[in-house]
Amino acid sequence: MNKHAGAVSELVDQLGRLPGVGRKSAERLAFHLLRVPEAEALALADAIRKVRKDVQYCSICFNLCESSRCAICSDDSRDATRLCVVEQPRDLMSLEQSQAFKGVYHVLLGRIAPLDGIGPDQLTIDSLIDRVRTGNFVEVIMATNPTVEGDGTSLYISNLLSEFPVQITRLARGITAGSVLEYANREMIADALTGRQKF
Amino acid sequence: MNKHAGAVSELVDQLGRLPGVGRKSAERLAFHLLRVPEAEALALADAIRKVRKDVQYCSICFNLCESSRCAICSDDSRDATRLCVVEQPRDLMSLEQSQAFKGVYHVLLGRIAPLDGIGPDQLTIDSLIDRVRTGNFVEVIMATNPTVEGDGTSLYISNLLSEFPVQITRLARGITAGSVLEYANREMIADALTGRQKF
């Protein structure tokens, strides 16, 4: 028996569709939105509307932006000869936050995942190939996630790119800074050994 | 350096104000809202708007409703001689879900919390006293949360109600169904012993 008012019930349902938000959390969030000053609740509603109205994909790299070209593609100080390929805009953001990469990006908007019915055609791979064909890149860095699907996507793309005179690299794997070997799993140790570097 | 587009950044900020949603979760939710079909994202925005526009407090019990009187207060089959006092609408909902109470409610919309600057005047205590004065209640069940502040609020209210010919009770406390004594804390055990019942 649902004793929520209709609008509350609807809000709980909608909040419950967010990732990681269960029924109980959705109720808590709904009551929060009912309790806060009206302006604060409406600010969230407006932010959702605005993001869907204003935000689009960069016509070059498919990063998120509010014009046809994103801040990175518009920035002349970036190294336009190095291209970093990521799955999602948020991956791009993580890389940017590290401030370790000064080149440009290409966002695939997903990874090849046959089990989820996502094939190469649903990603921005065609645009990537076009960019590499027509651009002056010396290096393409595959920075997909270190998962089976991410690795598979990188492998697929690197095969397509092998016809171009461009170096293809991928992110280093190994033990993580600040971790202890005792708790590293077998794969991490194997990666670290395979990719060991000279002192 | 924030590389979010302005609208994304704004959405992340707004989502980050929700209880239990940190920066990282807010980003994840924002990207989710960017990825889902536009209709789904806008449905959430609309639900927030609608809940703030349509939902009000019941003029009798201060439960949430979409008219001036809530579903419970409008329901003639409820026992109008028993009044259950709760802190928040969601507490009312929990009690309703148990289906163990067929009376009516009064929602305080908070608890007396001097440390948060919340005194009796900011709650719906005056209306409660009026209801008890003018109504035909035989019992008032204090169902505030079993916390220091909840207990204090119940104590305060029960003192005010002592002048009326009405029985004042509170929810039973003790060990919880399905639990094991080994893990019950001292307070639970003490409550269970104090309130022990005849077989």
> Are B166 and B86 contained in the same domain?
yes
Residue B194 domain-assigned (yes or no): no
Determine the pLDDT at residue B165: 94
Domain range spanning residue B45?
6-54
- Alpha-carbon distance of A105 to A103, in angstroms, equals 7
Question: Tens digits of per-residue pLDDT, A63-119?
Answer: 998 888 999 999 999 999 999 999 999 889 888 888 888 999 999 999 999 998 999
> Which of A5, A42, A54 lies closest to B55 in CB terms?
A5
8-state DSSP, B118: B
> Are B11 and B91 contained in the same domain?
no
Residue B82 domain-assigned (yes or no): yes
Here the CATH number for the domain that contains residue B110 is: 3.40.1360.10
For residue B13, which residues of chain A lie inside 8 Å, CB to CB? 47
Joined tokens for residue B133: 């004065």
Determine the pLDDT at residue A1: 34
> Are B82 and B163 contained in the same domain?
yes
Q: How far is B77 from chain A (nearest CA, A)?
A: 15
> Are A39 and A92 contained in the same domain?
no
Determine the pLDDT at residue A4: 58
> Are A15 and A45 contained in the same domain?
yes
**Res. B170: pLDDT tops 60:** yes
> Which residues 66-105 in chain A show a CB within 8 A of chain B?
66, 70-72, 88-90, 92-93, 96-97, 99
> Are B103 and B153 contained in the same domain?
yes
8 A C-beta contact, residue A145 and residue A111: yes
Burial class (CB in 10 A: 0-12, 13-18, 19+), A57: middle
Residue A117 domain-assigned (yes or no): yes
Mean pLDDT of the region A15-24: 92
Nearest CA in chain A to B69: A5
**Res. B3: pLDDT tops 80:** no
Determine the pLDDT at residue B185: 79
The confidence band for B1, taking pLDDT boundaries of 50, 70 and 90, is very low
8 A C-beta contact, residue A171 and residue A184: no
> Are A10 and A94 contained in the same domain?
no
Number of domains in chain B: 2
Could you tell me where the DSSP H helices lie in chain A? Answer: 6-16, 23-35, 38-54, 89-98, 125-134, 148-161, 186-194
> Are A111 and A32 contained in the same domain?
no
**Res. B117: pLDDT tops 80:** yes
**Res. B66: pLDDT tops 90:** no
**Res. B62: pLDDT tops 70:** yes
> Are A160 and A116 contained in the same domain?
yes
Q: How far is A179 from chain B (nearest CA, A)?
A: 21
Here the CATH number for the domain that contains residue B50 is: 1.10.8.420
8 A C-beta contact, residue B115 and residue A20: no
The answer, for A110 touching chain B at a CB cutoff of 8 Å, is no
The answer, for A18 touching chain B at a CB cutoff of 8 Å, is yes
> Are A146 and A113 contained in the same domain?
yes
> Are B118 and B156 contained in the same domain?
yes
Asked if A42's CB is within 8 angstroms of B48's CB, the reply is yes
8 A C-beta contact, residue A33 and residue A22: no
